[in-house]
Amino acid sequence: MSLKKIAELTGASVATVSRVLNNPDYVCNDSLLAEKIWDTAKKLNYTPNTFARNLRKGKTTEQTPFVVDVFITRFDSVEEDLFFSQVFRNIKEELLINGCLLGSILNSTDIMELTEKGKDMTHIPYKSSKSIAEEKTGNSTAYIKTKENTGLIILGKCPARLIPVLKKRYVSVAGVDRNPTDYMYDEVVCNGATAAEKAIEYLISLGHTNIAYIGDCNYESRYIGYYQTLMSHKIPLNHDNIYPTLQTTEAGFKTMNKIISSENRPTAIFCANDCTALGVLKALKINKKRGYIPSVISIDNIYEAQSTSPMLTTIDIPKREMAHMALNLLMDRKEGLHRENVRIELPCKLIIRESCNYI
């Protein structure tokens, strides 16, 4: 399929289409146009000219495309989490750039099911870590056949008991998350504790000390960053300001309505992710006649954060770079170029918009 056809369907010039699809270093000024180009290329089964690129790198032979499965740990589908949905789109772009193929998209239910087609396991059997560690041969009840030429990218926090199973099943495994593991597998992280620290430091610089937290509190680095930053500024932790909840737009909306009706309302709200903040801003807009306008800040900088009213102040997580490095780690381990589990930690940055004000 030609670049000209993609250009016609997207309204972009052939030169722009070529740069987006064939130049990994090119950053399109219009992110929505770039996404449209990638989606169109995917639908038309376009493959970048990897052979020419390999010639420039001194490689003269074609290889069987590397396949990458994706495991979504928190939701049934990637569309339910706007942050990982954006990361997933970036992963698909990276696969296309590198001549790799997208394999299965798995959730927790898939991982825990044992489905057989003859002798070939199409999903990962749910076994204990001890059974996996003790397996000797293919006759073992815990035996897991490795998928040839296939890697796995884990999106989110993976249950520790599943990790030995996944590492047996795949040639290479890499995770993408805001919570680092204890070097259990290769991973690309943007530390949630650091992102939370930046968010709370900014609110404190605006004069806020009565700051609420909405989000997950269970082994969650963003929650840890929240309360550690308050303590470092000698601000007492008010447990009435902590709202453990799912990190969804619906949960943010319900929680904010509860805060609006409370007696001691915080002057600032820190949401663990942008999805939660979208619900918070929606609740505030509906209740604007009450005159309660707290500052709102969150983490992720998803596309939707730019179109809220007011525009959402957030901490940017480098999603494209995380996808790029995750695939690099998969391919590097596949080639045997590293053996120890590697963690790549990327920086985050404050994006100041309209949702935060001086107290």
> What are the tens digits of pLDDT across the range 209-239?
999 999 999 889 999 999 999 999 999 999 9
Q: Which residue range forms the structural domain that includes residue 287? A: 192-316
For the cut 80, the answer to whether the pLDDT of residue 186 exceeds it is yes
Round to whole Å and give the CA distance between 202 and 137. 56
Do residue 310 and residue 324 come from a single domain?
Answer: no
Instruction: Quote the pLDDT of residue 299.
Output: 97
Do residue 306 and residue 253 come from a single domain?
Answer: yes
Instruction: Quote the pLDDT of residue 117.
Output: 38
Query: Among the three residues 45, 62, 79, which one is the final residue of a domain in this structure?
Result: 62
Q: Average pLDDT, stretch 38-57?
A: 62
Reported residue count of the chain is 359
Mean pLDDT, the chain, integer: 85
Do residue 25 and residue 52 come from a single domain?
Answer: yes
For the record, the structure tokens of 326 come out as 């995750």
End-to-end CA distance of the chain: 57
Round to whole Å and give the CA distance between 167 and 145. 11
For the cut 70, the answer to whether the pLDDT of residue 328 exceeds it is yes
Residues with Cβ within 8 Å of residue 153, at least 6 apart in sequence: 68, 69, 70, 71, 91, 173, 174, 175, 176, 326, 327, 330
Do residue 134 and residue 158 come from a single domain?
Answer: yes
For the record, the structure tokens of 257 come out as 């309505």
Residue 212: name the closest of 194, 200, 228 by CA.
200
Structural domain includes residue 357: no
Instruction: Quote the pLDDT of residue 36.
Output: 83
Do residue 85 and residue 176 come from a single domain?
Answer: yes
Instruction: Quote the pLDDT of residue 326.
Output: 97
Q: Average pLDDT, stretch 177-186?
A: 92
- H, E, C per residue of the chain: CCHHHHHHHHCCCHHHHHHHHHCCCCCCCCHHHHHHHHHHHHHCCCCCCHHHHHHHCCCCCCCCCCEEEEEECCCCCHHHCHHHHHHHHHHHHHHHHCCCEEEEEECHHHHHCCCEECCEECCCCCCCHHHHHHCCCCCCCCCCCCCCCEEEEEECCCCHHHHHHHHHHCCEEEEEECCCCCCCCEEEECCHHHHHHHHHHHHHHCCCCCEEEEECCCCCHHHHHHHHHHHHCCCCCCHHHEEECCCCHHHHHHHHHHHHCCCCCCCEEEECCHHHHHHHHHHHHHCHHHCCCCEEEEEECCHHHHCCCCCCEEEECCHHHHHHHHHHHHHHHHCCCCCCCCEEECCCEEECCCCCCCC
Do residue 74 and residue 170 come from a single domain?
Answer: yes
Question: Domains in the chain: how many in total?
Answer: 3
For the cut 60, the answer to whether the pLDDT of residue 56 exceeds it is no
* Contact between 185 and 173 (Cβ < 8 Å): yes
Neighbouring C-beta atoms of residue 67, cutoff 10 Å: 19
Instruction: Quote the pLDDT of residue 114.
Output: 39
Instruction: Quote the pLDDT of residue 110.
Output: 75
Round to whole Å and give the CA distance between 236 and 238. 6
Do residue 301 and residue 228 come from a single domain?
Answer: yes
Q: Average pLDDT, stretch 324-353?
A: 95
Structural domain includes residue 358: no
Instruction: Quote the pLDDT of residue 121.
Output: 46
Residue owning tokens 């820190």: 270
Round to whole Å and give the CA distance between 27 and 24. 8
Do residue 50 and residue 199 come from a single domain?
Answer: no
pLDDT-based confidence at 47, cuts 50/70/90? low
What global pTM score does this model have?
A: 0.78
For the record, the structure tokens of 95 come out as 């696969």
Structural domain includes residue 152: yes
For the record, the structure tokens of 281 come out as 């801003």
Round to whole Å and give the CA distance between 272 and 274. 7
Instruction: Quote the pLDDT of residue 122.
Output: 45
Instruction: Quote the pLDDT of residue 13.
Output: 87
CATH value at residue 30: 1.10.260.40
Round to whole Å and give the CA distance between 225 and 219. 11
Instruction: Quote the pLDDT of residue 1.
Output: 52
Structural domain includes residue 150: yes
Residue 295: name the closest of 195, 197, 196, 208 by CA.
208
User: In angstroms, how far apart are the furthest CA atoms of the chain?
Assistant: 70
Q: Average pLDDT, stretch 83-102?
A: 91
Instruction: Quote the pLDDT of residue 199.
Output: 98
CATH value at residue 217: 3.40.50.2300
Instruction: Quote the pLDDT of residue 113.
Output: 55
Instruction: Quote the pLDDT of residue 257.
Output: 96
- At 95-132, the pLDDT tens digits run 988 889 999 898 877 776 533 333 444 444 444 555 55
pLDDT-based confidence at 254, cuts 50/70/90? very high
Instruction: Quote the pLDDT of residue 88.
Output: 94
For the cut 90, the answer to whether the pLDDT of residue 357 exceeds it is yes
Do residue 257 and residue 113 come from a single domain?
Answer: no
pLDDT-based confidence at 136, cuts 50/70/90? low
For the cut 90, the answer to whether the pLDDT of residue 39 exceeds it is no
Q: 217, exposed or middle or buried, with CB in 10 Å at 0-12, 13-18, 19+?
A: middle
Q: Average pLDDT, stretch 133-156?
A: 73
